[in-house]
Structure 1
Amino acid sequence: MQKLDWVGFWNTDHHIYVNQRHKIVHDQLVTRDIAAYLPEGSAVLDFGCGKNFAVHEMMDKAAQLILCDAAFSVREELQGRFPNHPKIMVLAPEELDLFPDASFDVVVMHSVAQYLAADEMRKTLASFDRLLKADGKLVLGDIVSGEGGAVSDAYALLTLARKERFFGAAVIGLAKTAISPYRKLRQELGLTTYDEAEIRLVLDRAGFTCERMARNIGHNQRRTTYLCRKRPRLAEVLRAEGES
């Protein structure tokens, strides 16, 4: 049997969400927060989008919305929900190579960085640098620091569950997670973590400046969101100076 990796895990019928209410609440919170970063009429790439049941929150702001996910089962479900939609296109990451440079006003990557190895992160950021317009923005959400372990995640979930009335299901769900493939993968592969200095260095080397946001996207405020912009290239700076 093929060894499970993170993409393989998201292709399975996993139980990260303890029940349907948890999934709906999670998607509503995350997508509402993402939508706040989107200018009206923007072209948006949601990289690692997942099976988002609140995607309409983004559709209301975006003129074009590319939902991109490495997991085939995720893409298959989204394609079934949005066949021939005038605003939405569902793609695999490798299909982004078909887009010309400067195609997007906003690229969002939420709760994905922790599943990417360092070389994968570099390649992904290089792709975003190409795809973003010069004045575009990259929204990196749910960045996990070295302090953001499983206990921290469990506390954030239980806090949300108490507020949103699925506490019992959350307790049972955490018990199931303790013996699930997710825990095994997290132990074997680990999560890629970044403190603020580390993520700033990674982004700087990829050609981005960044600003740490006061709130993280979604419910887990022990993780962090960064708003990033492309650093002006020398040729662009010289052209702007010549036009002024």
Structure 2
Amino acid sequence: MSWRDFWNGEHAIYVSPRHKALHYRQIATDLTGHIPAPDSVVLDHGCGEALDAGRVASRCGKLYLCEAAPSVREKLRAMLGGRENVAVVAPEEVEALPEATLDLVVANSLIQYLSREELVALLATWRSKLKPGGKLVVADIIPPDVSPLTDASQLLGFAWRGGFLMAALAGLIRTAFSDYRKLRAQYGLSTYRIDEIAGLITAAGFEDVTPAKNFGHNPHRLTLVGRKAGDLGQRLPV
């Protein structure tokens, strides 16, 4: 099983329907805060089930929702089929978009599932699809010193505030015996120091790369924001 297989099948990452709904509500709120204008063309790359994508779509001119898992794409199309300004796409369809199409690219809770080589390739794709000065937001980056115990404590705090604490406690026990735990042990999750990930983003042709408030409920993870720079040829590789 790969990470794509995991997300394409049934899983229990969200401990209850309320957890899932509150999670996606918060992500939509965080994402809309980065939309530069009402007519912006936005790509949410690795969007997951994006339960509140309708609210994001109402704040921009065009919304591309990119998801690698076919079953999730089908759910998104069923949920958002009536929205003319929403397109649900696979990763290869992002690569096929015309250059300089997008005003904003958001990748939330994505790069931990990618190798360094995959990330470097994806950064190049995002840069090519952004308009000059377009904005990139890479969110929920895991630093090397953030442990699963820290993630668990943040989930429990979110659950306490959101009213699903008992479900969260039961969910943490299920996760300990789940495919997610096995995959994490087998493949690991990619982690980055802030200077390391900022260097990769800068080397890919982005400038003004700065930290921002993280998406979601975990402040121990990182979000970085950058803008497409003008001359990639003058930039040195990391």
Range into which the TM-score falls when normalised by the shorter chain? over 0.9
Give the partner amino acid of 2:95.
Answer: D
Give the partner amino acid of 1:23.
Answer: K
In structure 2, relative to structure 1, the CA distance for the partners of 1:173 and 1:130 (3 Å cut) is same
Give the partner amino acid of 1:16.
Answer: I
2:188 aligned counterpart, secondary structure: coil
Larger radius of gyration: 1
Larger mean Cα displacement after TM superposition, 83-92 or 170-179:
83-92
Larger mean Cα displacement after TM superposition, 95-104 or 188-197:
95-104
The answer for the alignment partner of 1:7 in structure 2 is: 4
Q: Shift in Å at residue 136 of structure 1?
A: 0.6
Q: Shift in Å at residue 97 of structure 1?
A: 2.5
Give the partner amino acid of 1:194.
Answer: Y
When the two chains are superposed, the root-mean-square deviation of aligned CA atoms in Å is: 1.4
Q: Shift in Å at residue 18 of structure 1?
A: 0.1
The answer for the alignment partner of 1:99 in structure 2 is: 97
Give the partner amino acid of 2:44.
Answer: D
Give the partner amino acid of 1:10.
Answer: W
Residue pairs, 1:48-197, within 5 angstroms: 48-83=46-81, 85-197=83-195
Larger mean Cα displacement after TM superposition, 56-65 or 188-197:
56-65
The answer for the alignment partner of 1:31 in structure 2 is: 28
For residues 191-244 of structure 1, the C-alpha deviation after alignment (integer angstroms, 9 at most, x for no partner) is: 00001111011112211121111x211111110111111122179xxxxxxxxx
Q: Shift in Å at residue 96 of structure 1?
A: 1.5
What's the TM-score, normalizing by structure 2? 0.94
Give the distance between the partners of 1:23 and 1:47, measured in 2 at CA. Answer: 18
Give the distance between the partners of 2:53 and 2:101, measured in 1 at CA. Answer: 20
The answer for the alignment partner of 1:202 in structure 2 is: 200
The answer for the alignment partner of 1:239 in structure 2 is: none
The answer for the alignment partner of 1:22 in structure 2 is: 19
Give the distance between the partners of 1:149 and 1:80, measured in 2 at CA. Answer: 36
Task: Say if 2:8 and 2:70, in contact at 8 Å, map to a contact too.
Answer: yes
Question: Quick one: percent identity of the two aligned structures?
Answer: 40
Structure 1, unpaired ranges of 5+: 236-244
Structure 2, unpaired ranges of 5+: 234-238
Give the partner amino acid of 1:171.
Answer: L
Give the partner amino acid of 2:141.
Answer: I
What's the TM-score, normalizing by structure 1? 0.92
Give the distance between the partners of 1:219 and 1:179, measured in 2 at CA. Answer: 24
The answer for the alignment partner of 2:42 in structure 1 is: 44
The answer for the alignment partner of 2:236 in structure 1 is: none
